[in-house]
Amino acid sequence: MRPFSFSLAAGLVTISFSSLLFADQHWPAPVQALVDQGLEIHGKFAAPGGLSGYAASHRGREMAVYLTPDGNHVVVGTLLDAQGKDLSAAPLDEHLRSGQEAEVWQRLKESHWIQDGDPQAERVIYTFTDPNCPYCARFHEQTRPWIEAGEVQLRHIMVGILRSDSPAKAAALLGAEDPAAALQSHQSSDSGIAAAAQPREIEQQVYANNQLFESLGLMATPTSYYHNQAGRLKKIEGAPDAASLEAMMGSPRS
């Protein structure tokens, strides 16, 4: 049997598998064939017309897969009703995006960060901060009203990506006796913290943060993550404008 291949560049792909005899039975054979070629299944959902739906992704691209009632074919694409309503978006949101958001939030939580603000503040924002980033310093200043009011806590994930001495400066901040005070002093002064050798454990923390930054496909600092009023994970790259800042902080500036 010739190996099966499919292109995700096409808007709609239909595949027949009536003669596929040796597929892994964890998923129906047509679905399993896609899994074998790198498709990741995140959940199954009911679909109209006797179809069985699967929320899936391939190399970061999300998609819906529909198994036909005879179990021998799958269709990859967007399902529309008679009014043109997208019936694939909600299942993808439920089974794929929400789970991905929770996973990203957990990875942020488990990273190496410096607490900025009241640790009991209900609103938590993670922000990637490079010690040499002027926009990070600007964002730090923008957030003071909410931080000082005890409404928001910022968790600065220290990375070293902008200059050759950024990793050493990030490590110096993470390794300081009082990281929060060191960060405050660094962001509010002209000279900032000096690069200094740190224990290997601290240097590895910066390296791990850099890897997280890259794995999330980020390009700029600061990049900040927060939950909006609907509980969905949002991302803002760079120092936000006034409207975006208030949305991130969860309330108008007092």
User: Could you state, in chain order, the average pLDDT of each consecutive group of 10 residues for the chain (254 residues)?
Assistant: 37 41 65 92 91 88 93 95 94 82 94 97 98 96 96 98 97 97 92 91 98 94 94 92 95 85
For residue 75, the model assigns a pLDDT of 95
Q: Which domains does the chain have, with CATH numbers?
A: 8-81 (3.10.450.70), 107-249 (3.40.30.10)
The pairs formed by 61-70 with CB atoms below 8 angstroms and a separation of 24 or more are 61/8, 62/92, 62/96, 62/97, 63/8, 63/92, 64/88, 64/91, 64/92, 65/31, 65/34, 65/39, 65/41, 67/28, 67/30, 67/31
pTM, to two decimals:
0.71
Supply the pLDDT for residue 61: 82
Q: Give the pLDDT score at 98.
A: 78
Instruction: State the pLDDT at residue 153.
Output: 97
